[in-house]
Amino acid sequence: MKKSKRTNKSKTLRTVILIIVGLMATYTFLPNYLQKGLIYMNPNIDDYKIFDNREVKTGEPIPWPTAEKYGHLKLNQTTIDSLEKYNSVAFLVIQHDSILYEGYWDGYTETTISNSFSMSKSVVSLLIGCAIEEGLIKSLDEKAKKYLPWLNGPYSGDLTIRHLLTMSSASSWDESYSSPFSITTRAYYGRSLSSTIKEVKIVQHPGIVWNYRSGDTQLLERILNKATGLTLSEYASQKLWQPMGAEEPALWSLDRRKGIEKAYCCFNSNARDFARIGNLILNNGSFAGKKILSEDYINKMITPAKYLTNENAEMVDYYGLHWWIMNYKDQEIPYARGILGQYIFVVPQHDAVIVRLGHKRSDSYHNHHPKDAFTWVKAGLEIIKQNN
């Protein structure tokens, strides 16, 4: 009887060993991006630590002044509960170019950088505007193929820069975050983004249907690189980070060492410097009295592309040129957003910018906006009300 038990244990042990060996062998033959994806499983706000990065250099810093009531304004308990529920790391309110309130959690501070995820797309839109104003790109309606002659698909010759900015490219890009085999997963964890993006085809008439695709932003990165002769980080430093007086260098994550920027997802900075982006919009393209972008381009960027419809035949009254637009109590609020609850809200009616960073956002939506977005706007406006 004892011998039988020992035999069964030996068989079980051999089976376990064989399974482990088999899994290790399978892992070895997986593509690099899948290996990395299996190790890290889900995107994280600190993923810059697992990627190669390029520095977005700053110049002479322009520190934010603090308002008279800074340090005396309080969040209510409902807001505190929401901030905790969604694992927030930063909440910042700026009005009249001064910090009214800032709070940090989970070991993060005013200088801690984290991933902005798709807020990066809004930064790319600003850089397209800069390139147009420099004359490096002629207009929003210039054909993408002028810069990307390798672009494929039966309608590739029709694609314009405007189509890419309004997410109406009609490309073959699969915006799937859950599938380990999607092009989005491969782009995030892979090491050859310049090759991956060349797989994208324009398969239908562009400029008709809105469909959110990270690949559209990556195509814009390729266009900017061709038009400017600079990396995205270099151009962002010259045109935004230095002129806006960012206090800390940013990091833009790359596909590999000395590779290209993940334009659609991976611009890393802190709440105070992210707020500069919102302030630039708030002041119609100026920062601290310095003109960086024209008011005309800013207005185009934050005007909803209502001539488009989405896949449900709904009018696109919530998205402009890589910027979202939400209606909050009859206030039109342009904002940038990332998948884990990264937000830069611009509130013109109150001359304010609200930034929220964290690990989570709501899974529920209202009119195409995550429901927690309304929570952060409300919280910011309550801080502003205390200041008045």
Pull the structure tokens for residue 192: 């050859």
CA dihedral 216, 218, 224, 229 (to 10 degrees): -160
In a domain, 209, yes or no: no
**Per-residue pLDDT at 74 exceeds 50:** yes
CA distance 106 to 260: 31
133 vs 180, more confident: 133
For residues 26-39, average pLDDT: 46
4: phi then psi, degrees, rounded to nearest 5: -65, -40
What's the total number of domains in the chain? 2
Pull the structure tokens for residue 354: 């609200």
List, for residues 239-273, the tens digit of each pLDDT value: 999 999 999 999 999 999 999 999 999 999 999 99
In a domain, 178, yes or no: no
Give yes or no: residues 83 and 118 share one domain.
yes
Give yes or no: residues 95 and 7 share one domain.
no
SS (H, E, C) 231-257: CHHHHHHHHHHCCCCCCCCEEEEECCC
**Residue 109, SS3 per DSSP:** coil
List, for residues 379-388, the tens digit of each pLDDT value: 999 999 998 8
CA distance 143 to 159: 6
The type of residue at 247 is E
**Per-residue pLDDT at 355 exceeds 60:** yes
CB 125 within 8 A of CB 119: no
Report the CATH number at residue 266: 3.40.710.10
Residue 22: predicted pLDDT: 52
In a domain, 167, yes or no: no
In a domain, 243, yes or no: yes
**Per-residue pLDDT at 34 exceeds 70:** no
For 288, the domain range is 47-138+231-387
Residue 39: predicted pLDDT: 39
In a domain, 377, yes or no: yes
For residues 321-342, average pLDDT: 98
Give yes or no: residues 315 and 354 share one domain.
yes
Closest CA to 310 of 302, 301, 319: 319
Q: ∠ CA(63), CA(65), CA(67), 5° rounding?
A: 160
Residue 173: predicted pLDDT: 97
Give yes or no: residues 236 and 354 share one domain.
yes
Give yes or no: residues 364 and 260 share one domain.
yes
Entry pTM: 0.90
In a domain, 362, yes or no: yes
Give yes or no: residues 125 and 18 share one domain.
no
Give yes or no: residues 239 and 339 share one domain.
yes
The type of residue at 261 is E
Q: ∠ CA(227), CA(244), CA(282), 5° rounding?
A: 95
Residue 23: predicted pLDDT: 44
Pull the structure tokens for residue 256: 């590999």
Give yes or no: residues 277 and 378 share one domain.
yes
CA distances from 317 to 76, 102, 140, 308, 320 (A): 32, 31, 20, 9, 8
In a domain, 195, yes or no: no
Give yes or no: residues 100 and 6 share one domain.
no
CA distance 13 to 5: 12
Residue 177: predicted pLDDT: 74
pLDDT-derived band of residue 162, with 50, 70 and 90 as boundaries? very high
For residues 359-380, average pLDDT: 98
List, for residues 193-224, the tens digit of each pLDDT value: 999 999 999 999 999 999 999 999 999 999 99
In a domain, 171, yes or no: no
